[in-house]
């Protein structure tokens, strides 16, 4: 059995001398059904949900000085387990399953700072109406401090190479489903890299928080080994509307020399995607 290394140490980088008005966590947590049989180097006994689930819950506050206001998760097939724990911590929970029902998108809103006002689901479709399994969950939240309404959306786009134009059509529907008059945060696993059609389209409407804080998109947000193929790329994002918000700080990437040869998931980290976290100021 592979030895259990220390957890990755991650910290906020950027402007940290100002208290944030909003803290967002974004994470594809890796569905339980998808954890086995896909990651050739992953220690098998690190993959069951009763091992990974508690680690996911712990890492939702990784490196943050206070609990996040909104947690956006994708590839969730253990929503009830997460909701039981997070509702006990003072969060309201929303979940929308994908069309085929194997997993979906979850959003958790910290009741001490924001009230959930309304939600809607955008289920992506082809121009002829043929449904995709992918979707977006959009929520309107009231800030309890000032009464202002913001909009937070999370999505999980079609995976795998060869679907670049389909992902573009999906983000077009996502942007069309937003209320352009509201301050907006959009998070998700976009399954596409910086400069792709989908990324470029979103960038015409919203700003990337990580790119603004780091000066460029991160080098990677997922790192995995399947068969003989090792994949390391950036496909997860936190976007925001300008001039409503300003990205103050974000959770940094782990040092590459600390990532174990099995990559992710592993004992070191419970998903094949990194969690992202951004602290925002309201303008």
Residue 3 predicted with pLDDT over 60: no
3-state helix, strand, coil in the chain (%, to 5): 20, 35, 45
Question: Residue 249 has what pLDDT?
Answer: 98
Cβ contacts of 112 within 8 Å, gap of 6 or more: 90, 144
184-189 and 245-251 beta bridge pairing: unpaired
pLDDT per residue as tens digits for the range 200-218:
999 999 999 999 999 999 9
pLDDT per residue as tens digits for the range 128-141:
999 999 999 999 99
Question: Residue 1 has what pLDDT?
Answer: 39
Question: Residue 99 has what pLDDT?
Answer: 85
pLDDT per residue as tens digits for the range 4-28:
556 787 999 999 889 999 999 999 9
Helices (H), 21-121: 49-59, 79-88
Residue 82 predicted with pLDDT over 90: yes
pLDDT per residue as tens digits for the range 146-164:
999 999 999 999 999 999 9
Residue 2 predicted with pLDDT over 50: no
Question: Residue 38 has what pLDDT?
Answer: 86
pLDDT per residue as tens digits for the range 67-76:
999 999 999 9
Question: Residue 6 has what pLDDT?
Answer: 66
Question: Residue 272 has what pLDDT?
Answer: 97
Residue 40 predicted with pLDDT over 90: no
Question: Residue 4 has what pLDDT?
Answer: 58
Classify residue 11 by burial, with Cβ atoms within 10 Å: 0-12, 13-18, 19+.
exposed
Q: Among residues 91, 138, 95, which one has the least CA distance to residue 117?
A: 138
Q: Please count the CA atoms within 13 angstroms of the CA of 171 that sit on its side-chain side.
A: 26
Residues 4, 66, 236, 104, Cα dihedral to 10°: 90
Mean pLDDT, residues 169-180: 98
Mean pLDDT, residues 44-61: 95
131-143 and 276-282 beta bridge pairing: unpaired
Classify residue 32 by burial, with Cβ atoms within 10 Å: 0-12, 13-18, 19+.
buried
Flag whether the pTM goes above 0.85.
Answer: yes
Position with higher pLDDT, 17 vs 93: 93
Residues 247, 209 contacting (CB under 8 angstroms): yes
């Amino acid at each position: 059995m592979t030895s259990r290394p220390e957890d990755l140490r991650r910290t906020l980088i950027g402007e940290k001398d100002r208290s944030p008005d909003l803290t967002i966590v974004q994470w594809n947590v890796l569905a339980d059904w998808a954890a086995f049989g896909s990651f050739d180097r992953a220690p098998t006994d690190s993959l069951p949900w009763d091992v990974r689930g508690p680690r996911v819950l712990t890492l939702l506050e990784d490196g943050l000085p206070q609990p996040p206001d909104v947690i956006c998760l994708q590839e969730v097939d253990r929503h009830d387990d997460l909701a039981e724990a997070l509702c006990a911590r003072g969060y309201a929970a929303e979940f929308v399953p994908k069309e085929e029902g194997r997993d979906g998108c979850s959003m958790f809103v910290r009741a001490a700072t924001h009230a959930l006002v309304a939600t809607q689901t955008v289920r992506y479709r082809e121009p002829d109406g043929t449904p995709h399994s992918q979707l977006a969950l959009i929520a309107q939240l009231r800030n309890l401090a000032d009464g202002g309404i913001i909009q937070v959306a999370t999505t999980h786009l079609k995976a795998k190479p060869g679907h670049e134009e389909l992902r573009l059509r999906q983000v077009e529907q996502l942007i069309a489903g937003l209320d352009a008059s509201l301050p907006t945060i959009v998070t998700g696993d976009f399954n596409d890299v910086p400069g792709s059609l989908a990324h470029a389209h979103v960038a015409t409407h919203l700003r990337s928080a990580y790119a603004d804080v780091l000066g460029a998109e991160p080098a990677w947000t997922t790192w995995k080994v399947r068969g003989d193929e090792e994949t390391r790329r950036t496909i997860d994002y936190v976007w925001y509307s300008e001039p409503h918000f300003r990205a103050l700080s974000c959770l940094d990437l782990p040092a590459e020399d600390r990532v174990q040869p099995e990559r992710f998931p592993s004992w070191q980290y419970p998903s094949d995607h990194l969690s992202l976290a951004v602290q925002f100021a309201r303008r």
